[in-house]
Amino acid sequence: MRAFELYFNSKKRDDLFLASSIYTPANIYEKRLGSLYVVGELTQAMPQNSHFLANLSSCIKKEYYASGLKKSCDASLQGALKKGNEFLDQESKAGNVGWLGNLSFGVLSFKEPVLNFAKVGDIKIFLARAGELIDLSQNLETSLPHPDPLKIFGSMAGGKISTDDRIIVLNKKILSALGKKQKFLNELAKASNEKELKQVLRVYQEPLAGVYGVCLVLISTGQDQEDAKQTVTIQNDLPNFSFSLNLFKPFTRFFRKIWKKPKLNFKIRLPHFKIKTPKISVSKIKKPALPRLPKVNFKSLRKKLILIAALILILLAFYYIFQGERAQEIKNAQAQLTEARSKAMLAESLLILKEEDKAQALLAESMQILYPLTKRGCPLREEALSLQNAVRQLLK
């Protein structure tokens, strides 16, 4: 199985994290379970969740290969998904609930010729075979969700893969930016190397210029992983052609050869002048009278300097005290704003799950936290007002 990773503008947004991981067997025990592929997306993300997708992927991968010779591929994937649910449960208990409603994740395991897969959120999985395109993720989307909202990995599916089959895994944002989704996916499935993939991306460069996403293209070769392993990462940085002055270098060199500047030698002789300096008689110069300086009272001056220095020290002390209080006030406001935002995000997730009573209670708590932060003179007032308006929209 050959794998190609495609990232689209993955570093242009601070509130969006994308991940794509390819795990190949490292020893004879892992070879029995084949390869593992992961695609993830986390939207409306906080900076502290920058490693969330990597940690979740590592947890699933570690559990998948932990069984070795004891379990089959599908049983190992079920155990890995269960471990992923436990990881998410621990994150929520630790107060990290920002992933609720914002996480999209796809996991695929492949051991010739069987492919097992599971997905949650806005991840699509397509199979391209003999010119036909099949949405493999459609059955997983219509399945019943897990009764516990924190256990998002519920069901999985699987099937046999034939030689030259293509598996395309991507987030929905890429498809939503394209007018003809079927045509793009078919052309992507026809590409068999990095050069052909870049040609497809050039054709769709304009609609994909503002897309934030990740795509994984897997090509079945009917061979062992060691013989067919080829992973290429392609960023959405296709070159833009433009004219430059380098194009005119051959012409400038030609004109330099046929045009030679004449050499001119100038010799300038300056005339000699004799300057007579007048003689100055020292006796005629009078010494200027120096002005008399007033007498300085050093005792009174010393007292004034001491008073000025004391006044400066007092002002500096008040300034540093005020700055310390202001910094503590900003720190407290940031903590309250983070708490209110977390409650609002959890409430939004509960509204999606139709648990309106719990959501309304959390929104009310968020409003109580935000009220003192919206008063004039309070730090972070603009952010508090913005979050307060968002909470009011949810309360409606």
What is the per-residue pLDDT across 65-122, written as a single tens digit (0 to 9) for each?
987 667 888 899 999 999 999 999 898 888 888 888 889 999 999 988 899 999 988 8
Residues 29, 178 share a domain: yes
Residues 340, 191 share a domain: no
Predicted local distance difference test score (pLDDT) of residue 234: 59
CATH assignment of the domain containing 130: 3.60.40.10
Residues 315, 212 share a domain: no
Predicted local distance difference test score (pLDDT) of residue 98: 85
Banded pLDDT at 361 (limits 50, 70, 90): confident
Residues 222, 140 share a domain: yes
Buried b / exposed e over 189-226, threshold 16 CB at 10 Å, is bebeeeeebeebbeebeeebeebbbbbbbbbbbeeebe
In a domain, 334, yes or no: yes
Residues 231, 311 share a domain: no
Residues 219, 105 share a domain: yes
Q: Does the pLDDT value for residue 232 go beyond 70?
A: no
- Residue 373, domain extent: 307-395
Sheet holding 2-8, edge to edge: 132-135, 123-129, 166-171, 213-219, 2-8, 231-235
Residues 151, 46 share a domain: yes
In a domain, 290, yes or no: no
Banded pLDDT at 164 (limits 50, 70, 90): confident
Banded pLDDT at 378 (limits 50, 70, 90): confident
Predicted local distance difference test score (pLDDT) of residue 266: 39
In a domain, 124, yes or no: yes
In a domain, 254, yes or no: no
Return the structure tokens found at 18.
Answer: 């994308």
Decide: 37 and 22 in contact? Cβ < 8 Å: yes
In a domain, 138, yes or no: yes
Residues 147, 40 share a domain: yes
Q: Does the pLDDT value for residue 311 go beyond 80?
A: yes
Residues 228, 96 share a domain: yes
In a domain, 252, yes or no: no
Return the structure tokens found at 173.
Answer: 């944002």
Please state the domain count of the chain. Answer: 2
Q: Does the pLDDT value for residue 242 go beyond 70?
A: no
Predicted local distance difference test score (pLDDT) of residue 262: 45
Residues 320, 209 share a domain: no
Predicted local distance difference test score (pLDDT) of residue 224: 53
Predicted local distance difference test score (pLDDT) of residue 286: 54
Q: Which residue has the higher pLDDT, 245 or 50?
A: 50
Q: Among 180, 202, 235, give the residue marking a domain's end.
A: 235
In a domain, 20, yes or no: yes
Q: Among 194, 214, 235, give the residue marking a domain's end.
A: 235
What is the percent of the chain with per-residue pLDDT over 90, rounded to a whole number?
Answer: 15
Residues 173, 318 share a domain: no
Return the structure tokens found at 313.
Answer: 């020290």
Residues 316, 231 share a domain: no
State the pTM of this model.
0.58
pLDDT tens column, 166-223: 999 998 888 888 766 788 888 888 888 888 888 888 888 888 887 888 889 998 887 6
Q: Among 176, 202, 235, give the residue marking a domain's end.
A: 235
Q: Does the pLDDT value for residue 315 go beyond 90?
A: no
Q: Does the pLDDT value for residue 51 go beyond 60?
A: yes
What mean pLDDT comes out for the span 269-294?
Answer: 51
Predicted local distance difference test score (pLDDT) of residue 275: 44
What is the percent of the chain with per-residue pLDDT over 70, rounded to a whole number?
Answer: 77
In a domain, 286, yes or no: no
